[in-house]
């Protein structure tokens, strides 16, 4: 999968990220990681303490990327509503699902505080930032003043995460788009 010049540890992390996204933690064997990375049997234990340690490095990197991407959108140009809209409409590989959110369906990630921590922190930071943007929208009169910013932030993130479920169930991004458009219509009636 990877050409020369990239370190073994780097290839292991990137292979693990891809497999976790596709198959989850339970469905990812050390053997599959090594095969995908084109790495020898001993190399995982040379660079990492084992599958959990390697998975943690992979999950942390995926989480950092998600924070960077969502922050860029939510701190970007536009009114508060427009930034929430940009977050919701941001191009995603909808049928692949969320590389962070999907890990919550993995019993071994949820049961392991160390593995769950970066997942929890990432979704938490996203909700916190969204709540600030909702708050701004209320102050500027763009969103209804009676809304609870933290609740709306949870609704926004939930719609995206659940949108992946609908899209993957139907095999089409259309259901994701419908959920997002419904939420946007509810969020700011005067934008309709």
Instruction: Pick between residue 33 and residue 156 the one whose CB is nearest to a copy of itself.
Output: 156
Q: Longest Cα pair distance anywhere in the chain, in angstroms?
A: 61
State the nearest-atom distance from the C-beta of 170 to a copy of itself, in Å.
5
- Nearest residue to 13 (alpha-carbon basis) of 42, 56, 49: 56
Task: Find the distance separating the first CA and the last CA of the chain, reported in whole Å.
Answer: 46
State the nearest-atom distance from the C-beta of 53 to a copy of itself, in Å.
20
- Burial status of residue 20 (CB atoms within 10 A of its CB: 0-12, 13-18, 19 or more): buried
Contacting positions for a copy of itself (CB under 8 A): 22-24, 26-27, 97-98, 101-102, 104-107, 110, 116, 119-120, 123-124, 127, 144, 146-148, 150-166, 168-171, 175-176, 178-183, 185-187, 189, 192
State the nearest-atom distance from the C-beta of 118 to a copy of itself, in Å.
10
Torsion of CA 48, 13, 105, 129, to 10 degrees: 110
Instruction: Pick between residue 47 and residue 152 the one whose CB is nearest to a copy of itself.
Output: 152
State the nearest-atom distance from the C-beta of 88 to a copy of itself, in Å.
11
């Amino acid at each position: 999968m990877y050409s020369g010049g990239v370190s073994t540890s780097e290839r292991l992390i990137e292979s693990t990220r891809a497999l976790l996204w596709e198959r989850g933690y339970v469905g990812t064997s050390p053997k599959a990681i090594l095969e995908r990375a084109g790495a020898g049997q001993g190399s995982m234990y040379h660079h990492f303490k084992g599958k959990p340690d390697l998975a943690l490095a992979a999950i942390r990197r995926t989480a950092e990327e998600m924070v960077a991407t969502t922050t860029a959108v939510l701190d970007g140009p536009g009114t508060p509503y427009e930034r929430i809209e940009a977050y919701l409409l941001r191009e995603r590989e909808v049928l692949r699902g969320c590389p962070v959110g999907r890990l919550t369906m993995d019993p071994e990630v949820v049961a392991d505080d160390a593995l769950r921590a970066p997942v929890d922190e990432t979704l938490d930071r996203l909700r916190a930032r969204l709540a600030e943007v909702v708050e701004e929208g209320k102050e500027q009169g763009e969103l209804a003043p009676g809304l609870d910013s933290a609740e709306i932030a949870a609704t926004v993130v939930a719609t995206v995460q659940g949108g992946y479920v609908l899209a993957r169930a139907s095999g089409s991004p259309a259901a994701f788009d419908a959920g997002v458009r419904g939420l946007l219509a509810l969020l700011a009636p005067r934008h309709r």
